[in-house]
Chain A
Amino acid sequence: MFSKPLVSASLQPIVLTILSRGEAYGYEIMQEALDLSDGQLKWTAGTLYPLMHRLETKGLVTSIWRPSEEGPRRKYYRITAEGHKALQADKQEWIDLHAILIRLWGPDLKPGLQLA
C-alpha cells in the first residue's frame, strides 16, 4: 500500500492513462488500477468519483451515460485532447522526479541504504 499523499498525487496520471486506452466506467477504472498494481492501488469510490468530477470540470475528460443490458445505465468517461496534454505533462513530471530519486539512490539500491 502507498501512503495517502502519494496515492492522491498519482491518481490523475493513472486514471488518464487508463482512459487513454479507451473509454471506461468508474468500476472498470478502479478494477484496472487494482489489477495493474497487483492489488496495491486500492481506491475507494469516495476518492475516484469526486476526482472524475474534478477532471470533468477541468475539461480533461468527458462523460456519457450509456444504457446497459444487465441493469441500470452506466456513466462512461473518455479522455479529451486537453486530457492527453495534461497526461503528457504529468508523465514528464513523474519521469523527471523518478530520475532524480534514482540519481540520489542509484539504480540498484533500495531506499534507506546510504551510498558509501
Chain B
Amino acid sequence: MFRLEKAISTWKRNLSLNRALLPDDVEELERHIRDHVAAGMARGCTEEEAYREAMESIGDLGGLESEYRKVFWEKVTSRRGLMKELIWESTMLANYLRIALRNLWRNKGYTSINVLGLSAGLACFLLILLFVRDERSYDRHHENAERIVRTHFGETQTVTPTAVGPTLARTLPEVETFARIYPLGMYQPISVRRGESAFLESGFYYADSTVFDVFSFPFVAGSPEGALNRPLTMVVTESTARKYFGNDQVVGQTLSVGSGTEFEITGVIEDVPGTSHVQFDLLASFSSTGWANREIWNSSNFYTYLLLERADQFESAQGKVDQLVTEMKASGQGGIPDNFQVNLYPLTDIRSEFEGRGVFVTIFSAIGLLILLIACANYTNLATARAARRAREVGIRKLSGAHKGQLARQFFGESALLVFASLVIAIGLAEWAVDPFNTIAGKAVVFAPLSDPMIIPVLIVLGVVISFIAGFYPAMMLSSFQPAHVLKQSGRTSTGGFGFRRVLVVFQFAVTVFLLAGTMVIRFQMSHMQDRSLGFDQDDVVVLTISDQELRRNYKTVKEAFLQIPGIEGASAVNSIPGYQMSGYAMHVEGQDLSGETEEGRRLVSGIPSDEDVAEVLGLHMIAGTGFPVDPGYEPEPGNYRYLVNRTLIEDVGWDPQSAVGRQINLLGNRIGQIQGVYEDYHYRSMHEEIAPQALFIEPWQFNRLMLKTAGGSVGSLMDQIEATWSEVAPGRAFEYTFLDTEIEALYRSDRQTAAIVGVFSLLAVFIACLGLLGLASYAAEQRTKEIGVRKALGANVGQIFILMISELTRLVLIAALIAIPVAWFVMAGWLENFAYRIDLAWWIFALAALSALFIAVATVSYQSIRAALTDPIESLRYE
C-alpha cells in the first residue's frame, strides 16, 4: 500500500543529506511535490500515480544536484552560510590529511623511497639555486652596472693601452666618463710597509680618480669625491686598513710602497665583494704613475672602463669605436696592429660570458632541474603503479557519494603532504651539504633559509609546483576510476597508466645515460690534460717574488746566495712562471723589416724576460743551438739581445730549427738580437689555450719571480734555510713563497670543480632514478606473482624467469640510450670546444655510459626479480 507521507519523508531525508541543497531548498521542493500531487489527484489520478508524476517533474537526482551545485556558492555567500561551509571544508581537509597520513604510514617502503628521492632532489636543487644566484649577482652591485663597459683589445685581451679611455671619451658622445685601472700587483706583487709590518700586495692597483664615478664602492671613511685626485694618494679596503693599522684612524696616515714611496690614505672602502670580477686591496691614484699624462697605444697594461650615458647605447658606441679604429689604422696613428680591434664588453657579461661561467651556470641549472624531474617521475610512477591497490578504495568512496573532484583533491593532498615533508628534510640536507658543496664548487654561498628573503617563497612555490607536477597524473587517473568497473575485478589487474610509466622510466634513464656520458667525457678530458706532458718540469720548484728594483738589479747575487744552500740545484729569475706567461710583443724578423718601422711581417708573440738558467731549471728540451750563453758581463742592449724561441715560432716564420739559430729577430721596443737556441714547445699558459710562438730573452729589469729547483723530497728544513737566506739578501721584504706545481694546479681549479660537481650531481641523479626503479620492480614482481607461479609450474627455470623480468627494462633503457646519446654527444662536443687540447669523442664512451646505465638498472631490479623467480609456485598459486 502506497503511503504518500512516508514516500515524501524518505525522499526528504535523502535529500537533506545532500550538501548541494539547503533546508529551504528542500522545503520548496517538497511543497512543489505536494502541489503536483494535489493537482494530479484533482485530475483523478491515484495518490501513487500522482506522486510518480511529481517525481518525474523533479527530474533525476544527479541532474537536480548538479544544477543546485552551480548556484550553491552564490547562495551561501549571500546567506552568510560561508562560515559553516568553511568549517565543513576544513573538516574534510583534516579528513583528507588523516587518510593521506594513514596511507603513507601503511606503505612505509613506498613513502620512504619517495621522501628520500624528493628530499635529495630538492636539496640539490636548492644548492644549485644558491650557486646560480651567486653567479648571476657578479658585478651587479654597482649602481651603474648596466651602463658600464670594459674595452678589450681584440677578442681576448682585457687590458688596453692608456690612450683608449681618453680617446673614446673625447670622440664618443655616448661616453659619460671613463676610468682606467692599472693592475700592477697582478703583474708583480708590490711590497707595502708600515713600520715593522710589511706585506707583498698582489692587490695593489692604480686607478683614475673617476673610478668611484663609474663603480660604486661604498666608503666607510673619507669620501669618494677627489679621493684619488692628487698624486701619491690611495684608498684601501677595510681589511687592508685593519692589517696595517689595527683599529686606528686610517685616513691621513701613510703607507710606504715599493722602495719607500709614501702614499697618503684618503679613504677606506668596504672590502671588494667576492662577486666582483676585479679584485683589489689598495687603490692608488693613477696620477702617481708616469702613465698618467701619456696617451700611448703600444703598451697594453690597463683595464679601461667606460660609463655610457644610457645602457641602450652599447651598439651605437661599438659602431663608432670600430669606425674610429679603422680611421686610426688607415692614418697609421697609434700603431694598432692590423688584426686588432677595440671591443666593448658589458660589465655584467664579463663573468658569465667572457670568463665562460655562463656555460657552467647553464649546465648546473639543467642538472638541478633534471634531478627534480627524476624525483617527480618517481612519485608519479609509484603512485600509478599502486593505483590497482587503491582502485577499490576509490570505488567504495564513489559509491558513498564522493565526487571526482573530492577524490582528486585527496590524491593531490597526498602528494602535497609528501612533497612538503620532503621539503623540510631537504632544508636539513641542504644545511648539512652546503659546506662540502662550497668546498667542491669553490664558492662561499650561504644557506640561511630563515633570514634569506628568497628561500621561503621559493620553497613554497616549489612545493606547490612539484606537488602538482608529481600528483597530477595519479590524481586524475585514480579519481576517474568507474566504481562498477573496479569493484567487479579482483583489484589485482593493472589499471592503466602502464604506458605512461614506461615513458617516465625512459625519461629517467635518458637523463641517467646523458649524465653518465657527460661525467665520463669530463673525466677523460681532465685526465687527458693531467697526463699530457706540459713540456717542462713542474715538480720541486719553489717560487719567490723579487719584484723590486734592487733585487732585480742584483738577481745574480741573490741567485748565488740561494745556490749555496745544499738541496737547491738550480735557480732562475723570470718575468712570470709557466702557466701565467701572458705578456705579448709585436715581433719582426730578419728579411722582413727587422727594424720594425713598418707593419711588414709583424707578428704577435709571447715574450718572456728570463735569465740564462731558465732552460735548465725548467728542464726545457733544446732541439737546436744552446741555452743562453753564460757570459758574466752580459747586459742586454739594442742589437745585442739574446733569444731562445719555441718550435712554433720558427715554424710560424718558416725556418727550420738548425737554420734558425743565429738569425735575427726584434721584439717591439728596439730589442734586435740573435736566436741562440730553439726549444721544444711547452705549455706556457693553460691547456685551454693553444701554444703560440714564444721568445725568451734576458732583461733583468722585468724579472719578478725567482724559481729555485730543489732536489725534491721533504722541503721542511729547506724552507727554513731559504727563508734565512731571503732575510739576508732581501732584508725588510716579506717572505712569501709558492710552488710551481701548485700554481699550475690552480689553473685548472675551475675545470676540476666542474668535473667534481657534475660527477656528484650525476651520481645523485642516478641514485634517485634507481630508487624509483626499485619501487617499481617490487610492484611488478608482486603483480606478476601468479604469472610466475604458472610459468614455473609449467617448467620455466629461474634463469628464464629472471630474463622475463628484466627484458622489458632492458628495452626501455636501450630506448633511453638512443635518445640520450645524440644529445650528450652534441652538448659535450660543445663543452670540449673550450679546450685547445681535447680528447676525441669516441663512440665507446657513449656505449660505456649506456651499458653502465643498463647495468645499474638491472642490478637495481635484480634482487626483486630473483626473489620473484625463486618463489615456490605452491606459495603463489595456493589461493587460486
Chain A residues packing against B (C-beta within 8 Å):
25-28, 30-31, 42-47, 49-50, 53-54, 57, 68, 70-75
Contact = CB atoms under 8 A, between A and B. Distances in A.
Interface stretch (B68-76, B159-167, B642-650): B68-76
A45 B32 contact: yes
B561 interface: no
18 contacts: A27-B32, A27-B35, A27-B36, A27-B39, A28-B35, A30-B57, A45-B64, A46-B59, A46-B68, A49-B28, A50-B71, A53-B71, A53-B74, A53-B75, A57-B75, A71-B34, A72-B34, A75-B31
Given A46-B64, A53-B25, A53-B75, 15 more contacts: A27-B39, A30-B32, A42-B57, A44-B57, A45-B59, A47-B59, A50-B68, A53-B71, A53-B74, A54-B71, A71-B31, A72-B30, A73-B27, A75-B28, A75-B31
Nearest first, the 9 closest Cβ-Cβ pairs linking A and B are A44-B59, A46-B64, A27-B35, A46-B59, A50-B67, A45-B58, A57-B74, A53-B71, A46-B67
Interface string B631-675: 000000000000000000000000000000000000000000000
A76 to B, nearest CB: 11
B63 interface: yes
Interface in B290-330: none
A68 B35 CA distance: 11
Contacts of A31: 39
Contact of A26 (B24, B28, B70, B71): B28
Contacts of A53: 25, 71, 74-75
Contact of B68 (A49, A57, A71, A74): A49
Nearest to A55: B71
A44 B36 CA distance: 12
B32 A26 contact: yes
Nearest to A28: B35
B59 A72 contact: no
Interface residues of B, number: 27
A49 B338 CA distance: 89
- Which of A25, A27, A54 has most B Cβ within 10 Å? A27
Residue from A43, A44, A46, A75 with most neighbouring chain B CB atoms (10 Å):
A46
A1 B39 CA distance: 23
Contacts of A28: 35
Contact of B31 (A43, A50, A74): A74
Contacts, number: 73
A42 B57 CA distance: 8
Interface string B807-834: 0000000000000000000000000000
A33 to B, nearest CB: 12
B38 interface: yes
B67 A47 contact: yes
B58 A44 contact: yes
B29 interface: yes
Contacts of B65: 46
**Which of B27, B57, B64 has the largest number of chain A CB atoms within 10 A?**
B57
A46 B63 CA distance: 6
Interface in B57-111: 57-60, 63-65, 67-68, 70-71, 74-75, 78
A46 to B, nearest CB: 3
Interface in B20-61: 24-25, 27-32, 34-36, 38-39, 57-60
Contacts of A30: 32, 57
B61 to A, nearest CB: 9
Contacts of A46: 58-60, 63-65, 67-68
A79 B32 CA distance: 20
Contacts of B70: 50
Contacts of A73: 27, 31
A49 B35 CA distance: 15
Contacts of A75: 24, 27-28, 31
Contacts of A45: 29, 32, 57-59, 64
A37 to B, nearest CB: 15
A113 B38 CA distance: 45
A53 B25 CA distance: 10
Contacts of B75: 53, 57
A31 B63 CA distance: 20
A18 B25 CA distance: 21
Nearest to A72: B31
Contacts of A68: 31
Contacts of B27: 72-73, 75
Nearest to B74: A57
B65 to A, nearest CB: 8
A57 B78 CA distance: 8
Contacts of A27: 31-32, 35-36, 39
Nearest to A57: B74
B536 to A, nearest CB: 88
Contacts of A70: 38
A57 B39 CA distance: 30
A25 B31 contact: yes
A70 B31 CA distance: 11
A9 B688 CA distance: 75
Contacts of B35: 25, 27-28, 74
A44 B32 CA distance: 11
A97 B626 CA distance: 107
A72 to B, nearest CB: 6
A54 B35 CA distance: 23
B829 to A, nearest CB: 60
Contacts of B58: 44-46
Contacts of B32: 26-27, 30, 45, 49
